[in-house]
Amino acid sequence: MERTLVLVKPDGVQRGMVGEIISRLERRGIKLVALKMMLVDQALAHRHYGEHEGKPFFQGLVDFITSSPLVAMIWEADDVVEIVRGTMGQTNPKNAAPGTIRGDLGVNIGRNLVHGSDSPESAQREVALFFKEGEILDYNRNNDPWITE
Ligand code: DAT
Ligand code: MG
């Protein structure tokens, strides 16, 4: 089963959007298997956003993601990376479609509320950065047959 890392970024926490964002993902039918609130330190921020090191927005991004607590989660489903990216919307909320988290809740690329891994490979890397294996729960949902055939 595929897993993905989702972060409600500091702006989402500060704006009281944690419930709204979790709710949208829950309603999709995907399965929550890990969740915690945490403050990201410089080292974790650099590792998580390593692919963007050297870009003009990198320092601002690291400062932002370490500025205040965030909520980290792991969601599970077949093709969950693609499903979550669709529900999040495009990186820049200005261009994100209405009906998506970013398209409904944001206006600025540097305050786009949510992170979701961009491929199954990055998901594996990011899940391991944020969570220990023991923090990820394995459980059955009775309604699974009503969500996927
Ligand atoms: P995504 O978060 O959709 O995967 P990304 O990986 O390209 O987008 O970039 C990571 C974050 O960096 C993004 O959520 C917001 C910020 N960012 C990206 N491009 C930016 C830009 N041109 N100016 C300012 N911030 C940017
Ligand atoms: Mg990305």
What pLDDT does 82 receive?
98
Residue among 67, 70, 109 whose CB has most ligand 1 atoms within 8 A, to mutate: 109
pLDDT confidence of 124, banded at 50, 70, 90? very high
Q: Compute the distance from residue 56 Cα to the ligand 1 centre, in Å.
A: 11
- The mean pLDDT value for 130-147 works out to 97
What pLDDT does 52 receive?
98
pLDDT in tens, 48-75: 999 999 999 999 999 999 999 999 999 9
- What phi and psi, each to the nearest 5 degrees, are found at residue 54? 95, -15
The side-by-side arrangement of strands in the sheet containing 31-38 is 31-38, 70-76, 3-8, 114-116
Percent of the chain with pLDDT strictly greater than 90: 100
Q: Compute the distance from residue 48 Cα to the ligand 2 centre, in Å.
A: 9
Q: What is the DSSP string of 3-47?
A: EEEEEE-HHHHHTT-HHHHHHHHHHHT-EEEEEEEEPPPHHHHHH
59 lines ligand 1 (CB under 6 A): no
45 lines ligand 1 (CB under 6 A): no
Computed on alpha carbons and rounded to an integer, the radius of gyration of the chain in Å comes to 15
Bridge partners (DSSP) of residue 75 are: 4, 32
Rounded to two decimals, the ipTM of the complex is: 0.98
**How many CB atoms sit inside 10 A of residue 27's CB?**
9
65 lines ligand 1 (CB under 6 A): no
